[in-house]
């Protein structure tokens, strides 16, 4: 009975994404005020700073970085592309994979100009913002593929997608809680993606706190597991990760723009046991 309920919940989640609109989602979440690079309390600069710090710590290293549930965004690998020689992007939705391909092919079909993001990360790295074109070229060079993924499968990627030893690092932002019908499914998904990671490899996880829904397009309301910090920590521990660091961002009132009910964002750095 429990399995049937789980399957029903996952099917309902998949159905809620059928009308997902990448252009609208990017407009809602990746433009000001949430992506105001002049404000220290804006959420997007906070996320980029967390990722920059983590990717520049000596213990995060190796050859292959896999982004789990990229969505239509690339910001989450802008720092990682300087550390890893291969970057693999993944998403469940073809519309998101197509958005990523537009950026990768530089064909002018993107729904968001990522230049301000590239410039900001260049600043974090101590480089001139004018070097952002070089950073974009570097990222395009190291992205090896854009693949379908299903984090609710015990084998989320195709069998031959990764080396036998697994990835050296995973990054995942606002994916697992946004595609899981409940906390148990979120925790199982953490375990599933862990199977893609080599022992001792790192998971860099960003997600929403206290969020029960978000809009993936006009009138496209998508349910989310409303997580707490304690639940994130317990789920990581249950699925064989050692938590190294947890950081929390609390959303200012003017960042609550009506496209979700998120109250905060967490960043977790963890190591696979």
Where is the binding site for S-adenosyl-L-methionine, in residues?
A: 25, 30, 69-70, 75, 91, 96, 150-151
Angle between helices 115-124 and 43-55 (to 10 degrees): 50
DSSP E strand stretches across the chain:
64-67, 86-91, 143-148, 167-173, 197-209, 213-215, 221-223, 241-250, 264-272
Residue numbering of the annotated binding site = 25, 30, 69-70, 75, 91, 96, 150-151
Cβ burial of 5 (10 Å; 0-12, 13-18, 19+) is exposed
d(CA 91, CA 266): 21
The answer to whether 170 touches 216, Cβ cutoff 8 Å, is no
The 10 Å Cβ neighbour count of residue 270 is: 26
Q: In angstroms, how far apart are the furthest CA atoms of the chain?
A: 58
SS3 66: strand
Q: Please work out, in degrees rounded to the nearest 5, the angle formed at the alpha carbon of residue 111 by the alpha carbons of 51 and 253.
A: 55
Closest by alpha carbon to 68, among 165, 10, 146, 7?
Answer: 146
Query: Residue 260 carries which DSSP code?
Result: B
C-beta pairs of 108-111 under 8 Å, 24+ apart in sequence: 111/22, 111/23, 111/26, 111/27, 111/72
């Amino acid at each position: 009975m429990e399995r049937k309920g789980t399957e029903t919940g996952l099917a309902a989640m998949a159905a809620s994404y059928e009308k997902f609109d990448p252009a609208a989602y990017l407009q809602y979440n990746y433009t000001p005020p949430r992506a105001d690079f002049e404000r220290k309390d804006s959420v997007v600069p906070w996320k980029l700073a967390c990722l920059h710090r983590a990717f520049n710590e000596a213990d995060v290293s190796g050859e292959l970085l896999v982004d789990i549930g990229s969505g239509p965004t690339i910001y989450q690998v802008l720092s990682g592309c300087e550390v890893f020689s291969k970057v693999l992007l993944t998403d469940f939705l073809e519309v998101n994979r197509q958005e990523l391909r537009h950026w990768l092919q530089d064909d002018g079909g993107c729904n968001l100009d990522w230049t301000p993001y590239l410039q900001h990360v260049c600043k974090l790295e101590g480089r001139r913002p004018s070097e952002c074109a070089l950073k974009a070229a570097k990222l395009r060079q190291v992205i090896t593929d854009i693949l379908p993924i299903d984090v609710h499968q015990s084998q989320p990627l195709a069998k031959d997608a990764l080396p036998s030893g697994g990835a050296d690092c995973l990054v995942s932002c606002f994916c697992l809680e946004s595609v899981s019908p409940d906390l148990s499914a979120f925790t199982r998904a953490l375990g599933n993606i862990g199977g893609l990671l080599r022992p001792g490899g790192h998971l860099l996880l960003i997600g929403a706190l206290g969020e029960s829904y978000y809009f993936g397009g006009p009138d496209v309301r998508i349910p989310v597991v409303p997580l707490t910090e304690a639940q994130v920590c317990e789920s990581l521990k249950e699925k064989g990760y050692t938590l190294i660091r947890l950081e929390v961002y609390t959303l200012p009132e003017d960042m609550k723009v009506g496209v979700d009910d998120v109250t905060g964002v967490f960043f977790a750095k963890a190591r696979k046991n």
